[in-house]
Structure 1
Amino acid sequence: MDHVDVPGQITLDIDALIREAELDAAPAWTGGPLHLTLDYRTPEEHAAAMQRWILENGQSACRSRSNMWSPAICHQPLTIEGHELHVLSVDLRTEHGHEGPGALLYQANCTPCRWHEVTDSENAAVEAMHDHAVPDWRDLPLMPHKISAALSNPTRQSLAAARAWVEQNYPAHRQHPGAPIRTTRTSMGTRHVPGRSPFGGFDLTGEIHGVNR
């Protein structure tokens, strides 16, 4: 006989009854689609649609079951020169025993401009975001690895050294809150890292060095 977790099942049943009552009391949904959409929606509109989907379908595995956009893991909104930038993701990966497209998609999203770009790569979304708000980012000098490597576990001294190098080598119009830096990397660490710039912006991968170099 299969074991049944009676207290756990009772909790699930109560949660379902509460959700059903809340859904009955809720007004008809007039917001964004409750499924994957590639049309522009603000992050707030996506969040509201996700909450409605959860109300109708439950919290469990909502990201993968809904196929709807939500903030990408480890990303926070970034403001640069009047642009409010977000990285969103949607989980389309196939669950065991089910059919599906089988991918993660990413979206760069700027709310003041109502602009977005969808891609299958997190790095590509981050690059599109900077092309939109910091069009000359690829021209920024590469911070030497001996300075940038310390930013993975920053100290007051390493942050001061990075900021001093940027102040000496970057144009003045790229020394502001949210501004990115470009750094050399090894082939084992090519992700564009949010928040690792001395200005609170991205550490963008530049030149790739071999692992043993």
Structure 2
Amino acid sequence: MRLRNKPWAKDFMAEHPDVLINEEEGAVKDWKAIFNNENPIHVEVGTGKGQFVIGMALANPDINYIGIEHFDNVIVSALEKAIEAGKPSNLRLLRGNGANMEDLFKARELDRIYLNFSDPWPKTRHAKRRLTHESFLARYEEVLKKKGEIHFKTDNRKLFEYSLVSMSSYGMILKDVSLDLHAEMPEDNIMTEYEEKFSAKGQPIYRLEAMFNN
């Protein structure tokens, strides 16, 4: 995907440190202090333009949400949406690399991780880049609390099948596996921008929840 350059993005991001934290300014370690409460922390890796994580924050005020995105030109759109939504106090955006989870969070700090419409990296030689590869699962396990969960959505059948095998092989417990999420649309489902786009075309959305068995 080619990203349109937004030369104003960095300055705009710097104007809203109460919502957006930049990893370049140093890894953040004390998220409970940032949120100023002891509520559970849920993280979306690859938050894109932020529709999902902002919607979740608005719907669940007793849970803290962090949306991680690596690209300035994308996360600035999430920042704009967060401002339009009134800057929910239980929401933060983190401009950083989700591959470095152990540098962004303390061990056993998170309650849940969301992976929504991640890059499928379809070529076999790129399997290690998939966010459900065992190397990433190990990083998630380090920062999630015991019995912490991963909630995963995708429109890519092959990535979904790969993820089922990868998580099962890692010893995770799979639950609520859906091969067509919108056929049984749960009332609390918050859609991402990609989800709206793909479902409008009639493509099935695959979803699973997986818990670490530790």
TM-score, length of structure 2 as denominator length: 0.24
Higher RCO structure, 1 or 2 (CA under 8 Å, sep 6+):
2
